Amino acid sequence: MPIRGKKDRSFQRSLRGGQSDAEAKLWSHLRNRRLLGHRFRRQHEIGPYTVDLLCPDRSLIVELDGGQHSERVAYDEARTRFLESRGFRVLRFWNDEALARTDAVIESIVTALQATHPSPQPSPRSRGERE
């Protein structure tokens, strides 16, 4: 399944250009494979959603939420369920947490990157193989 959808790329560019202070600070730690050599993408489209940060090789999404998200709990939960149903892990942090406790946020991301994550698809078995 392709990760990228059909949204106009200029939309993602505008989001990257208008990133929050928290996104900019966290991105400075993640860009150019700075964190354990993993590549991250900013404002990446997955289905109908644009996620803040994506590590495609580990199927890890990092979302940074501002105060408006406290009023959008049901929307965020549905969004997370959709992303998880596609095999992604979603980490959510508040903007102020990413700004004031950057090292703790980075440590949480490192832990997630190092954790094993089962594939949403079962491993194919050869014919005749039984459990």
Domain boundaries, the chain: 9-114
Give me the pLDDT at residue 71, please: 74
Amino acid, res. 47: G
The angle at the Cα of 21, spanning 80 to 32, to the nearest 5 degrees, equals 75
| Residue 72: per-residue pLDDT | 83
Q: DSSP character for 53? A: E
> Is residue 40 within 8 Å of residue 55, measured between CB atoms?
yes
Residues of the chain whose pLDDT is less than 50? 1-2, 4-6, 11-16, 121-131
Query: Strand 49-55 vs strand 89-94: parallel, antiparallel, or unpaired?
Result: unpaired
Exposed / middle / buried, residue 74 (Cβ in 10 Å: 0-12, 13-18, 19+): exposed
pLDDT (0 to 100) of residue 64:
95
**Predicted TM-score (pTM) of this structure:** 0.75
CATH number given to 9-114: 3.40.960.10
Other Cβ atoms within 10 Å of 8 Cβ, number: 9
pLDDT (0 to 100) of residue 19:
85
What pLDDT is attached to residue 70?
A: 65
